[in-house]
């Protein structure tokens, strides 16, 4: 694999990125759209770089978090990126194939075609919670579509950002993939550039700022945000399996996952049994939390204090707090290890009921009728993810037909994200647009419509000066409603 100079990066408060963008755009205009074989080679190169540096990536991410589960990192960030690369390389030729489009008889003998073109230079702004996956997964889609890329990793995981810059700088020349490091000012500078497309993953509040900045240049934007994703347990659900699945989805990466179950809705009669099963599931997956390498730390002090604030407010305001751990295996402030807790029926005024939790705290609500659960979810912003547990097809169709969400997994959690054939994206406050698989390829491509007119055709009969022939032909064209 050919090594290239390290990509340009900066930690300046307000970096000047116009020269970086100019270099990327000039290279695209000079070389044009890469062929299928070239794109497959680019993706292969990316996969080889990830495999070659996976130990360095693990060390960097763990250092940024304080403690990050090695197994969860390999599963969520290495395997998932490599699976996306394999999927794209396998299907790329079919995605790129020019397609024939039926042409109405009125326009014969003209023919119609549809081909995909790269957009040119696209930007990717990544988050901190999965700093490798959510930078490289969009990069897979952008490279498959034939684009040049400007990538901004998160400033909250600076070691990982530096490792990504080194990884991509060794795999690609700086006029193909450029990495810019720095703080929030650098992210704002990327959003303000006249890019051909911008994909942002992060909070809804920052997403609004990104959208405003991109609007100045009419840059198309894909926003991947979060929100409060519900897990609805139906009346006939297998409660033990539902509790285990929900706890797995909530505690993976210590709840720092945009599609983690944020709150549970279950029948009133099942609340006490769910609490018991949730405690058992947590103990089964994590026999201890202190010193357990399988359990991830909270990323920084600010988020640690935010989560403790949720717990304290619940205690002060009278909401029931059920720890899923036993003393002395409690919170470790020095290492930012926060064992999970259930928060039972918090009032709507509490922050934990209004804000995305993004941590190992799970809110539990009860309902009397399944329709009440639907009403509860629909009274809130549309979620990024929806989970339903139950066997009755009619109940499932009630949930799927009445609730609009970014993606759905039935009788499990998180799985719709890793299905490369499905689009991943939010709706409303949880995002706009989608990627993964062919949907990512299309997000970063332009569908170019083409009409091919043969030498001998009839369009000349409808050109001025209009006479009898044109009138007769026009009457024939509008002969039917």
> Active site residue: 77, 224, 356, 420, which one?
224
Specify the DSSP element, H or E, that contains 199: strand 197-201
Task: Please tell me whether residue 10 adopts helix, strand or coil conformation.
Answer: coil
Cα of 191 vs its chain's centroid, Å: 17
Q: How many residues does the chain have?
A: 481
Instruction: Give the CA distances from residue 357 to residues 227, 231, 373, in Å, rounded to whole numbers and listed in that order.
Output: 8, 14, 20
| Cβ neighbours for 367, distance < 8 A, ≥ 6 positions apart | 265, 266, 267, 268, 373, 376
321 strand-pairing partners:
343
Vertex 59: Cα angle to 58 and 62 (nearest 5): 80
- Phi and psi, residue 448, nearest 5°: -95, 115
CB count, 10 Å around CB of 306?
Answer: 16
Sign of CA dihedral 335, 286, 128, 208: negative
Nearest to 32 by CA among 148, 129, 112: 148
End-to-end CA distance of the chain: give it in Å, rounded. 62
Could you tell me whether strands 431-432 and 221-224 are parallel, antiparallel, or unpaired per DSSP bridges? antiparallel
Q: How far apart are CA 315 and CA 346, in angstroms?
A: 10
Looking only at Cα atoms, what is the longest distance across the chain?
96
Q: How far apart are CA 424 and CA 384, in angstroms?
A: 9
Token pair listed for 149: 């890329």
Placement of tokens 């009125």 in the chain? 106
**98 belongs to the catalytic site:** no
> Active site residue: 72, 135, 258, 356, which one?
258
Task: Please tell me whether residue 113 adopts helix, strand or coil conformation.
Answer: strand
**356 belongs to the catalytic site:** no
Q: How far apart are CA 171 and CA 361, in angstroms?
A: 40
Nearest to 424 by CA among 75, 6, 87, 120: 87
For the purposes of burial, counting CB atoms within 10 Å of the CB of 270, is it exposed (0-12), middle (13-18) or buried (19 or more)?
Answer: middle
Task: Please tell me whether residue 266 adopts helix, strand or coil conformation.
Answer: strand
Report cis status (omega within 30 of 0) of the bond before 328: yes
Task: Please tell me whether residue 16 adopts helix, strand or coil conformation.
Answer: coil
Nearest to 181 by CA among 156, 212, 147, 199: 156
Q: Contact 223/211 with Cβ under 8 angstroms?
A: yes
CB count, 10 Å around CB of 271?
Answer: 17
Q: Which residues are catalytic?
A: 224, 258
């Amino acid at each position: 694999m050919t090594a290239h100079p390290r990509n340009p990066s900066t930690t300046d408060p307000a970096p000047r990125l116009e020269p970086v963008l100019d270099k990327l755009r000039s290279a695209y205009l000079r070389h044009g759209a890469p062929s299928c074989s070239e794109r497959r080679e680019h993706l292969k190169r990316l996969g080889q770089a990830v495999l070659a540096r996976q130990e360095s990536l693990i060390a960097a991410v763990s250092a940024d978090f304080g403690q990050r589960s090695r197994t969860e990192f390999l599963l969520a960030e290495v395997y998932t990126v490599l699976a996306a690369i394999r999927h794209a390389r396998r299907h790329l030729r079919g995605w790129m194939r020019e397609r024939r489009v039926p042409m109405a008889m009125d326009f014969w003998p003209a023919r119609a075609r549809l081909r995909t073109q790269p957009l040119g230079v696209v930007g990717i702004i990544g988050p901190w919670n999965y700093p490798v996956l959510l930078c490289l997964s969009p990069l897979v889609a952008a490279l498959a579509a034939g684009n040049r890329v400007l990538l901004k990793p998160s400033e909250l995981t600076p070691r990982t950002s530096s490792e990504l810059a080194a990884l991509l700088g060794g795999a690609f020349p700086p006029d193909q993939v450029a990495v810019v490091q720095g703080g929030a000012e650098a992210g704002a500078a990327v959003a303000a550039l006249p890019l051909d497309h911008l994909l942002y993953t992060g909070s809804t509040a920052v997403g609004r700022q990104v959208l405003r900045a991109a609007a100045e240049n009419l840059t198309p934007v894909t926003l991947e945000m979060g929100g409060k994703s519900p897990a609805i347990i139906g009346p006939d659900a297998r409660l033990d399996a539902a509790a285990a699945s929900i706890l797995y989805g909530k505690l993976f990466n210590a709840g720092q996952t945009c599609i983690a179950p944020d709150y549970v809705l279950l029948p009133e009669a099942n609340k006490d049994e769910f609490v018991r099963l949730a405690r058992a599931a947590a103990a089964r997956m994590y026999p201890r939390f202190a010193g357990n390498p399988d359990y991830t730390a909270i990323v920084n002090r600010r988020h640690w204090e935010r989560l403790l604030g949720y717990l304290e407010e619940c205690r002060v305001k009278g909401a029931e707090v059920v720890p899923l751990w036993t003393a002395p295996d409690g919170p470790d402030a020095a290492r930012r290890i926060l064992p999970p807790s259930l928060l039972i029926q918090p009032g709507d005024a509490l922050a934990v009921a209004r804000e995305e939790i993004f941590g190992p705290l799970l809110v539990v609500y009860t309902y009397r009728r399944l329709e009440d659960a639907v009403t509860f979810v629909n009274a809130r912003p549309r979620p990024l993810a929806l989970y339903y547990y139950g066997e009755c097809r009619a109940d499932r169709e009630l949930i799927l037909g009445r609730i609009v969400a970014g993606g759905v997994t039935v009788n499990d959690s998180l799985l719709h994200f890793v299905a490369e054939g499905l689009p991943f994206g939010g709706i409303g406050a949880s995002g706009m647009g989608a990627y993964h698989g062919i949907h990512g390829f299309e997000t970063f491509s332009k569908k170019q419509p083409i009409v091919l007119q043969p030498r001998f055709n009839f369009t000349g009969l409808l050109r001025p000066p209009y006479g009898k022939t044109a009138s007769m032909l026009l009457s024939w064209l509008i002969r039917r409603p």
